[in-house]
Chains A and B, each alone.
Chain A
Amino acid sequence: MLAGIALTLVSIWYGQHHGLMPVQASEDAALVDGLFDTMMIVGTGIFLLVEGVILICLFKFRRRPGDDTDGPPIAGNIPLEILWTAIPVVIVLVIGVYSFEVYRIEGGFDPEAAEQSPIQVAMVSNSDVSTPLMAPQHKGHHHLALGVGATPDEMTTAPDLTVNVLGLQYAWIFTYPDTGVTTGELHLPAGKDVKLVIKAQDVLHAFWLPQFRLKQDAIPGQDAELRFTPQRVGEYPIICAELCGPYHGAMGSKLYVQEADEFDQWLQQQVASQSNADSTVALQPSEPTDADYLSAMADHVGVDASVLERLPHTLSSPSELVPVSLVGPQG
Chain B
Amino acid sequence: MTQAEALSETRSSHDHHPGPQRKWQDYFTFNTDHKVIGIQYLVLSFIFFGIGGIMADLIRTELKTPATDFVSPEMYNQLLTLHGTIMIFLWIIPAGSGLANYLIPLMIGARDMAFPKMNALAFWMLPPAGILLALSILFDAPQAGWTSYPPLSIMTGKVGEGIWIFSLLVLGTSSILGAINFFTTILLMRVPSMPLTAMPLFCWSMLATSALILIGTPVLAGALILLAFDLLAGTAFFNPTGGGDPIVYQHMFWFYSHPAVYIMILPLFGVISEIIPVHSRKPIFGYLAIAYSSLAISFLGLIVWAHHMFTSGTPAWLRMFFMITTMVIAVPTGIKVFSWLATMWGGKIALNSAMLFAMGFVGEFVIGGISGVMVASVPFDIHVHDTYFVVAHLHYVLFGGSVFGIFAAIYHWFPKMTGRMVNEPLGIVHFILTLIGMNLTFMPMHALGLQGMNRRIALYDPQFQPLNELCTIGSYILAVSALPFLVNMIWSWIKGREAGDNPWNALTLEWQTSSPPAIENFETLPVLRWGPYDYGVERIPEDIEPPLTSPELQPESSALS
Q: Does B461 contact A (CB under 8 A)?
A: yes
Q: Is the CB of B154 within 8 A of A329?
A: yes
- Please choose the segment from A80-88, A154-162, A186-194, A255-263 that sits at the chain B interface, where 4 or more of its residues have CB less than 8 A away: A80-88
Task: Given A50-B363, A219-B246, verify A71-B346 contact (CB < 8 Å).
Answer: yes
Q: Which residue in chain A gives the minimum CB-CB distance to B284?
A: A75
In B115-162, which residues have CB < 8 Å from any A CB?
143-145, 147, 149, 151-152, 154-156, 158
Q: Which A residues have a C-beta under 8 Å from some C-beta of B?
A: 20-22, 31-32, 35-36, 39, 43, 46-47, 50-51, 53-54, 56-58, 61-64, 67-77, 80-81, 84-85, 88-89, 91-92, 95-96, 99-100, 102-103, 106, 108-109, 114, 121-123, 125, 144-146, 148, 202-204, 206, 208, 210-211, 213-217, 219-222, 224, 237, 239-250, 300, 327-331
Question: Which chain A positions have C-beta within 8 A of B149?
Answer: 204, 242-243
- Please choose the segment from B9-17, B33-41, B234-242, B257-265 that sits at the chain A interface, where 4 or more of its residues have CB less than 8 A away: B234-242
Q: Is the CB of A220 within 8 A of B536?
A: no
- Which one, B68, B316, B347, B387, contacts A145 given CB within 8 A? B316
Q: Is the CB of B335 within 8 A of A84?
A: yes
Separation of A77 and B286 alpha carbons in the complex (Å): 7
In B248-288, which residues have CB < 8 Å from any A CB?
280-287
Q: Is the CB of B452 within 8 A of A39?
A: no
Separation of A206 and B240 alpha carbons in the complex (Å): 17
Q: Is the CB of A71 within 8 A of B281?
A: yes
- Which one, B281, B338, B457, B533, contacts A69 given CB within 8 A? B281
Q: Is the CB of A217 within 8 A of B313?
A: yes
Q: Is the CB of A241 within 8 A of B536?
A: no
- Which one, B156, B316, B351, contacts A58 given CB within 8 A? B351
- Counting from the closest, the 6 A-B pairs by CB-CB distance are A249-B457, A70-B536, A210-B452, A246-B73, A221-B240, A73-B536
Q: Is the CB of B456 within 8 A of A36?
A: no
Q: Is the CB of A239 within 8 A of B452?
A: yes
Question: Which chain A positions have C-beta within 8 A of B459?
Answer: 249-250
- Which one, A108, A203, A219, contacts B312 given CB within 8 A? A219
Q: Is the CB of A70 within 8 A of B243?
A: no
Separation of A329 and B239 alpha carbons in the complex (Å): 8
Q: Which residue in chain A gives the minimum CB-CB distance to B154?
A: A329
In B521-561, which residues have CB < 8 Å from any A CB?
533-538
Q: Does B477 contact A (CB under 8 A)?
A: no
Separation of A217 and B281 alpha carbons in the complex (Å): 52
Q: Is the CB of A247 within 8 A of B316?
A: no
What is the CB-to-nearest-CB distance from A148 to chain B, in angstroms, rounded to a whole number?
Answer: 7
What is the CB-to-nearest-CB distance from A239 to chain B, in angstroms, rounded to a whole number?
Answer: 5
Task: Given A122-B244, A219-B312, A241-B386, verify A72-B366 contact (CB < 8 Å).
Answer: no
- Which one, B154, B287, B379, B456, contacts A243 given CB within 8 A? B456
Separation of A330 and B235 alpha carbons in the complex (Å): 11
Q: Please name 5 further chain A to chain B contacts, defined as beta carbons within 8 Å, in addition to the given A88-B330, A95-B377, sorted by A numbering.
A: A96-B377, A210-B383, A211-B452, A213-B383, A216-B311
Question: Which chain B positions have C-beta within 8 A of A144?
Answer: 313-315
Q: Is the CB of A246 within 8 A of B379?
A: no
Q: Is the CB of A327 within 8 A of B155?
A: yes
Question: Which chain A positions have C-beta within 8 A of B284?
Answer: 75
- Can you list 17 A-B pairs, Cβ within 8 angstroms, ordered by A? A32-B380, A35-B377, A39-B374, A39-B377, A54-B363, A57-B347, A72-B282, A74-B342, A75-B285, A85-B335, A88-B334, A108-B378, A122-B244, A215-B383, A215-B386, A245-B152, A248-B456
In B326-351, which residues have CB < 8 Å from any A CB?
327-328, 330-331, 334-335, 337-339, 341-342, 344-351
Q: Is the CB of B535 within 8 A of A99?
A: no
Q: Which residue in chain B gives the minimum CB-CB distance to A21?
A: B450
Q: Does B245 contact A (CB under 8 A)?
A: yes
Separation of A106 and B337 alpha carbons in the complex (Å): 35
Q: Does B214 contact A (CB under 8 A)?
A: no
Question: Which chain B positions have C-beta within 8 A of A242?
Answer: 149, 386
- Please choose the segment from B23-31, B98-106, B317-325 that sits at the chain A interface, where 4 or more of its residues have CB less than 8 A away: B317-325
Separation of A142 and B147 alpha carbons in the complex (Å): 23
Separation of A214 and B345 alpha carbons in the complex (Å): 44
Question: Which chain A positions have C-beta within 8 A of B315?
Answer: 114, 144-146
Q: Does B77 contact A (CB under 8 A)?
A: yes
Question: Which chain A positions have C-beta within 8 A of B339?
Answer: 81
Q: Which residue in chain B gives the minimum CB-CB distance to A53?
A: B341
Task: Given A22-B451, A100-B320, A215-B311, verify A54-B246 contact (CB < 8 Å).
Answer: no
Q: Is the CB of A71 within 8 A of B312?
A: no
Q: Which residue in chain B gives the minimum CB-CB distance to A242?
A: B386
Q: Is the CB of A73 within 8 A of B76?
A: no
Task: Given A20-B451, A47-B370, verify A61-B334 contact (CB < 8 Å).
Answer: no
Separation of A21 and B370 alpha carbons in the complex (Å): 17
Q: Does B43 contact A (CB under 8 A)?
A: no
Q: Is the CB of B331 within 8 A of A85?
A: yes
Question: Which chain B positions have C-beta within 8 A of A300?
Answer: 73-74
Question: Which chain B positions have C-beta within 8 A of A74?
Answer: 282-283, 285, 342, 346
Task: Given A50-B363, A214-B382, verify A57-B377 contact (CB < 8 Å).
Answer: no
Q: Is the CB of B3 within 8 A of A43?
A: no
Question: Which chain B positions have C-beta within 8 A of A237?
Answer: 452, 461
Q: Is the CB of A50 within 8 A of B323?
A: no
Q: Is the CB of A62 within 8 A of B383?
A: no
Task: Given A32-B380, A61-B346, A245-B156, verify A70-B338 contact (CB < 8 Å).
Answer: no
What is the CB-to-nearest-CB distance from B4 to chain A, in angstroms, rounded to a whole number?
Answer: 7
In B6-63, which residues have CB < 8 Å from any A CB?
none
